[in-house]
Amino acid sequence: MTIIKEEYTFSEILANPKIKERWQKVRRYFFLRESTYDMSNRCNIRCQGCYYYVGDKQFARENRDEQAWRHLLHKEKERGITFVVLAGAEPSLVANLCRVCYEVIPLGAIATNGLIAIPADIDYRIHISVWGNDRTSEKVRGAADMLGRQIANYQDDPRAVFIYTFTPDNIAEAREVTATLADCGQSISFNMFSAPVGYQGPLRHTADSLGKTREMMAELLADYPQNVLFSTYNIVAHTEPQGLHDLFSCSYPRSNQSTDIGLGRSFRQYRTDLQWDREAACCVPDTDCADCRHYAAGSAVVTARMYRHAVDPETFSAWLDYVDTYLAVWVRGYEKGQNLCNSYIHPPVKKQ
C-alpha cells in the first residue's frame, strides 16, 4: 500500500533528483522581469476577435522615432526590466524599432502574424500566430495561404515558435496544422482564444469546446513530443471551466492593486505613444478577465504561484513542467526538458 503524505516539506520534494535538477534549471531564470510594448497601431491583416482593436489603445499616436524608443528602453532597463514582449498591432511593420529594443534589452519575444519576415539579426523569440488551417484563416483573418507563407518566412529559423490559438471552430484542424508544422521541423505551442471585453461572437469558448480542446491538446502532445512545446499541466491550466484569474489570482497590475513586489510593481504595458496606464496594464489588455486563458497571461500568472504548488512532488512537478514550457516558448536558447508529470493535477487553491 502506498502511503501518501498530506503535506511535504520543500526539502522532501527536492529530494527527488529529477525534480531538484529541473528546479535548479528553471530558477536560473527567475531574474526575468517582463514588460510589453505595442509597436505599431497598424496591421496588414484584420482578425476577428483581435484584442488590439478593442478599447482605446488602437487610437494611440504611433511614435516611430527610434531615439524615443531607445530612450524608453534604457529607462526600462534602469528600472530592472530584463525581458520585453513586442506586440500590437503588427511589430514586423516596424522592424527598425524592434531592432532598437533588441540592442538595449537582448532578451524578449515578438508576437507576429508571420506574413512579413523579421530580420534575423533581431534575435528574439518569434511567436507566429496560427488560427487554424488555410480555409479557416482566410475566413477569420482574411488572408490567403497563411500557413505556407508563415512557414516559408521562418523555415529553419531557431527563433520561431508557432502559436496555435484554439477557438470552438478550429479544434479538429489543429491536427493537420500540427502535422504540417512537424513535417517542416517547426516548434508549436498552444493558446486559447480569450474573448475581448464585450465580445459575444462565436469564437468564445464553451464548456463543450474546452473539453474537446483538452482532448486534442493531449493527443497532439502525445503524438508530436519533439515539436509540441506544452505539458499536461499546461492543458489543465488553460482548459478548466474557470479562467486563469479565478484559478490563480492574476498578478498583473490590471487585476492586482499591490505595487510592493512582482508584476504589480514592475510590469507595464506601453502603447504606441510610449505611454502606459496601470488600470489597463496586463499582457492582453482589453481581454475579458473572466474569460482569459491566454498563453501569455498563463506564463506569468501560473509561474508566479510557485508556493501553492509546493505541496507534494507530483503537484510541484506539474508546476515545473509549466515553467519549463514557458521558458522554452519565450526564451531563446532555453531547451525544454521531458515533462515530469503526465497526470491531470487540479490547480491547488491558496491555503491560509
Partner 1 sequence: MHTETNQTISRVAEIIIDELKLEDVTPQTFDPDLDLVDEVGVDSMDLATVALVLRDEFGVRIDEDDYPKLTTVRIIAQYLDDKRNESE
Asked if 305 touches partner 1 (CB under 8 A), the answer is: yes
Gap between the Cα atoms of 351 and 163, Å rounded: 34
Gap between the Cα atoms of 134 and 130, Å rounded: 9
Asked if 331 touches partner 1 (CB under 8 A), the answer is: no
Tell me the closest approach of the beta carbon of residue 264 to partner 1, in angstroms.
8
Asked if 307 touches partner 1 (CB under 8 A), the answer is: yes
Residues in the chain: 352
Tell me the closest approach of the beta carbon of residue 216 to partner 1, in angstroms.
32
For residue 129, how far is the Cα from the chain centroid? 11
Sign of the dihedral through C-alpha 82, 83, 89, 95: positive
The alpha-helical segments, DSSP class H, found in the chain are 10-13, 17-27, 66-78, 95-104, 134-141, 146-153, 174-183, 207-223, 232-239, 244-248, 263-266, 295-301, 306-309, 313-330
Q: Name which position in 308, 314, 334, 342 contacts partner 1 (CB under 8 A).
A: 308
Site for partner 1 in 28-47 (CB under 8 A): 30, 33
Q: Name which position in 156, 260, 279, 335 contacts partner 1 (CB under 8 A).
A: 260
Residue where the block lists cell 514588460: 35
Asked if 262 touches partner 1 (CB under 8 A), the answer is: yes
* Range in contact with partner 1 (rule: CB under 8 A) among 130-138, 187-195, 255-263, 269-277: 255-263
* Range in contact with partner 1 (rule: CB under 8 A) among 8-16, 107-115, 208-216, 289-297: 8-16
Site for partner 1 in 80-109 (CB under 8 A): 80
Asked if 263 touches partner 1 (CB under 8 A), the answer is: yes
According to DSSP, residue 196 is labeled: B
Interacting residues toward partner 1 by CB under 8 A:
9-11, 27, 30, 33, 80, 249, 251, 258, 260-263, 265-266, 303-308, 310, 350-352
